[in-house]
Amino acid sequence: MKKIKAFEKLEFYDDFMFGLVMQDKSLCREVLECLLGIKIRHLEYAEPQKHFKPMYTARGIRLDVYVRDGNTVYDVEIQNRNEHDMGKRTRYYQSMMDADSLLKGHAYSELKKTVIVFLCRFDPFKKGIPWYTVTRICHEDASVNLADAAKDIIFNCTAYEKVVNFEQRALLKFIQTGNVESDLTGRLNDMVEKQKKIEANKKLYFTWSLHDYDVKNEGIRIGRREGRKSGRKEGIKLGEQKGIESNKLENARKLLTMKILTHEQIAEGVGLPLEKIEELALEINTAK
């Protein structure tokens, strides 16, 4: 099993810590204002790690930071590894955000303006520029404006030295290297250290990490192995599901024996029904 990064070693750019720090509305607003060069009138709410799961057959997504300023919705994502799927990832995120903001029966004109921000610790397009602002355009006539009110801004933090504005440069450098060179990055770093001292965060991080690892890695690995044995696509799908379920059960047992989380917290962390967790707890107690 892949080793989980120690909670005490988490940096601002780690997904879990990024979500925790950005719960602070003041810091969240300042980060957005610095990155985008705008003034945010009022941050209505900051919702870290928002999870969208539109239907049981669809793929769910978890947004790092999901905030609103009046009629504009911002999604801010930290990306540490290049998965080579930036275009389709932003497309899917956009669809989920639109579905979330438009209630049934409302007109399309009521869709909110959306800005998806990716903070990449790599250059996704290999052009060497600090950021890429992407909107839908007409290839035949660039003056045609679709006016869909959607924008993607993809930052390449590796190119922080090319940024003229000091505050922006310092923030991108902090994300890329962890070095503190401005008042804002200093306060962000202080908040990281503050979050590390909260014991409940450590427990939550452990369950969060186990669940993410199971879904993204272990289930797929076992699924491919089972699929190769059967030589059929059906075998791959079945193996993936078996692998995921097997690891959920294993991690639930580990957490139950540690006795630091409630049954409800374990159920949510590993992605199993509460009834199954209680059944496992009974098995463990009976075996003693």
**Cα–Cα dist 127/159, whole Å:** 10
Phi, psi for 35 (deg, rounded to 5): -65, -45
What is the model's pLDDT at position 162?
Answer: 98
What is the model's pLDDT at position 55?
Answer: 37
Radius of gyration of the chain, Cα coordinates, nearest whole angstrom: 21
Contact between 75 and 118 under an 8 Å Cβ cutoff? The reply is no
Angle 183-196/166-177 helices, nearest 10 degrees?
A: 30
Please write the tens of the pLDDT for every residue from 148-196.
999 999 999 999 999 999 999 999 999 999 999 999 999 999 999 999 9
**Cα–Cα dist 136/150, whole Å:** 8
**Cα–Cα dist 230/237, whole Å:** 11
CA torsion angle 264 215 99 148 (round to 10): 140
pLDDT < 50 stretches in the chain: 1, 46, 52-60, 215, 217-224, 226, 236
pTM for the full predicted model? 0.72
What is the model's pLDDT at position 114?
Answer: 93
What is the model's pLDDT at position 221?
Answer: 46
What is the model's pLDDT at position 195?
Answer: 95
What is the model's pLDDT at position 260?
Answer: 62
Please write the tens of the pLDDT for every residue from 110-134.
888 999 999 999 999 999 999 999 9
- Reduced to 3 states (helix: H, G, I; strand: E, B; else coil), residue 45 is strand
